[in-house]
Amino acid sequence: MEPSALVYDTAAAAEIWRRVAPAIPAYGAGVCPAGATCPLPRRETDGEAALGSLIADGAALYAACRRCAARSPHGARRVLEQLAREQQRTVRSLLAAYFLLTGRWRQPPVPAAGLQEPWLTALRRVFLAESVLQRDCAALAEQLENGCLRQLLAAEAERAAARGKSLAALLENSLTTANNLLKW
């Protein structure tokens, strides 16, 4: 079963938007002078583009973690499912940061279907993606001028580092247990 990559429910968000601020158009749409609704022209800054890239990478990592959990042994499955839930929370946090930075919502792209590879190879791929996400969150945190968003991204980088440590420990346990490397 392929996991859902959607971490942001646009229909629910639009309904909440209509209840909270019905006079303000949702999702950056503005009213043109002729009365028709049209998108407001706006260029994305480098920081916004980097944050959007983090959101896409996080959604892809969430899907990869779920795929890896589906093919893993029972003991590793629980750990990977927990890591997937934490990754989903990270993507939601990044989506909130994007909205706070731009005032617009962003739907993460649906990740491509994963490769059919051995689960240890998939676990290694998830570990590498987690370390890249950690590095990119820390780098973007240093670039932002907004202190609150800088702290949010720095915290996400720390959580990604902790998930990376968990993945490394899981990989080490799996390799030594599955291959009996520690038999002396």
- The tens digit of pLDDT for each residue in 78-120 reads 888 999 999 999 999 889 888 888 888 888 877 777 667 787 8
106 and 90: one domain? yes
Q: Per residue in 15-25, pLDDT tens?
A: 777 777 777 66
pLDDT given for residue 43 in this prediction: 64
- Distance between CA atoms of 37 and 34, rounded to whole angstroms? 9
pLDDT given for residue 162 in this prediction: 92
Q: Is position 109 within any domain?
A: yes
Structure-model confidence comparison of residues 14 and 58, the more confident one: 58
Average pLDDT, the chain: 78
Q: Is position 17 within any domain?
A: yes
Q: Is the pLDDT of residue 4 over 60?
A: no
- Distance between CA atoms of 14 and 24, rounded to whole angstroms? 11
Closest CA to 163 of 85, 66, 46: 85
Q: Is position 64 within any domain?
A: yes
98 and 36: one domain? no
Tally of structural domains, the chain: 2
Closest CA to 62 of 148, 128, 3, 138: 3
Cβ neighbors of 26 (< 8 A, separation 6 or more) are 13, 14, 17, 18
Q: Is the pLDDT of residue 32 over 70?
A: no
- Rounding to the nearest 10 degrees, give the CA dihedral for residues 149, 25, 13, 2: -90
The phi, psi pair for 73, rounded to 5°, reads -65, 165
- Distance between CA atoms of 52 and 10, rounded to whole angstroms? 17
pLDDT given for residue 181 in this prediction: 53
Q: Which domain holds residue 136?
A: 46-179
Q: Is the pLDDT of residue 158 over 90?
A: yes
Q: Per residue in 130-156, pLDDT tens?
A: 999 999 989 988 888 888 888 988 999
Q: Is position 79 within any domain?
A: yes
CATH for 60: 1.20.1260.10
18 and 82: one domain? no
Q: Is the pLDDT of residue 36 over 50?
A: no
123 and 36: one domain? no
Q: Is position 136 within any domain?
A: yes
- Distance between CA atoms of 184 and 182, rounded to whole angstroms? 6
35 and 75: one domain? no
This prediction's pTM: 0.67
98 and 148: one domain? yes
Give Dmax (Cα) for the chain.
Answer: 80
16: left (phi over 0), alpha (psi -120 to 50) or beta: alpha
